[in-house]
Amino acid sequence: MVKIYRHESLLGFFKGMSFPIASIAVVNSVLFGVYSNTLLVLTATSHQERRAQPPSYMHIFLAGCTGGFLQAYCLAPFDLIKVRLQNQTEPRAQPGSPPPRYQGPVHCAASIFREEGPRGLFRGAWALTLRDTPTVGIYFITYEGLCRQYTPEGQNPSSATVLVAGGFAGIASWVAATPLDVIKSRMQMDGLRRRVYQGMLDCMVSSIRQEGLGVFFRGVTINSARAFPVNAVTFLSYEYLLRWWG
Ligand SMILES: C[N+](C)(C)CCCC[C@H](N)C(=O)O
């Protein structure tokens, strides 16, 4: 934190923010929409009816995986741009210094398109899909499991339960997602200069060789600290929006 502050001032902490904010509504509606509709297909119960007839954990997991798989594709280009901008760590421009490689998210998207082709915008998308398919399953299982544990049968979970269950669901899924998150980000940065990795497996093997197994847990603490409040609020919004409008 101190280093980022000294080097890039307060703005450094908000690097690559505008795109995630623009994309989060789209990505989350795909995630929760696909999840809920897959459950509807699998169990023939709507969100309201699910309290009285709770779906099995297998169905929850499958619906979560489907949601995770599809949202990964919507997320991929936005996530790529975020990673590229976050990794650009030049100090704030001084007069006379050359401009940064990417001047902002739109410029970044256009440059990737020009330099790496349309498929370049989906660099790392496979790793992202592999990261999100099972871990979104874990996300919903943890959430449902904790809600059921602390809610009397047939009732809606209280706001406090939803917040805590959502927070822990975020942590559990991020802990599980971190190894592939590290690989995904490295694949997304590859291609910026010369290609370093031949593919995902090569990226895994050379990362382990150079940095040991600990590399798979890089950033897990800060990711979990972020995941708790973000997902507490996400699930609270989800539950309340469906209760009001469902
Ligand atoms: C599966 N994985 C852990 C990668 C993410 C789950 C979605 C969580 C939420 N959109 C967030 O940004 O925390």
- Residue 93: its pLDDT value, please? 60
**For the residues of 149-193, what is the DSSP string, one character each?**
HTS-TTSPPPHHHHHHHHHHHHHHHHHHHHHHHHHHHHHHHTTSS
Decide if 30 is inside a domain: yes
Whether 169 and 235 have beta carbons less than 8 Å apart is answered as yes
> Do 5 and 105 fall into the same domain?
yes
> Do 2 and 118 fall into the same domain?
yes
Residue 153 above 90 pLDDT? no
Average pLDDT on 162-184 reads: 97
- The residue whose CA is least distant from atom 13 of ligand 1 is 227
Decide if 38 is inside a domain: yes
Total tally of structural domains belonging to the chain: 2
Ligand 1 pocket, mutate which of 139, 168, 228 (most atoms under 8 A from CB): 139
Determine the distance from the C-alpha atom of residue 27 to the mean position of all C-alpha atoms in its chain, rounded to a whole number. Answer: 9
Residue 17 above 80 pLDDT? no
- Residue 122: its pLDDT value, please? 94
Determine the distance from the C-alpha atom of residue 139 to the mean position of all C-alpha atoms in its chain, rounded to a whole number. Answer: 11
- Residue 91: its pLDDT value, please? 65
| CATH code where residue 44 lies | 1.50.40.10
Least confident of 21-30, 46-55, 62-71, 191-200: 191-200
In eight-state DSSP terms, residue 91 is P
CA of residue 170 to ligand 1 center, whole Å? 6
pLDDT in tens, 95-134: 777 778 888 888 999 999 999 899 999 999 999 999 999 9
- The residue whose CA is least distant from atom 8 of ligand 1 is 170
> Do 9 and 80 fall into the same domain?
yes
State the residue range of the domain holding 73.
1-90+99-123
> Do 84 and 27 fall into the same domain?
yes
What share of the chain in percent tops pLDDT 90? Answer: 67
> Do 116 and 186 fall into the same domain?
no
> Do 109 and 191 fall into the same domain?
no
> Do 116 and 9 fall into the same domain?
yes
- Using the structure block, give the residue that is written with the tokens 């809606």: 156
Decide if 151 is inside a domain: no
Decide if 138 is inside a domain: no
Whether 39 and 55 have beta carbons less than 8 Å apart is answered as yes
Whether 227 and 174 have beta carbons less than 8 Å apart is answered as yes
Cα 197 from Cα 187, distance rounded (Å) = 7
ipTM over 0.90: yes
Decide if 134 is inside a domain: no
Decide if 45 is inside a domain: yes
Give residues (CB < 6 A) around ligand 1: 131-132, 135-136, 139, 170, 173-174, 177, 227, 230-231
> Do 1 and 104 fall into the same domain?
yes
pTM: 0.88
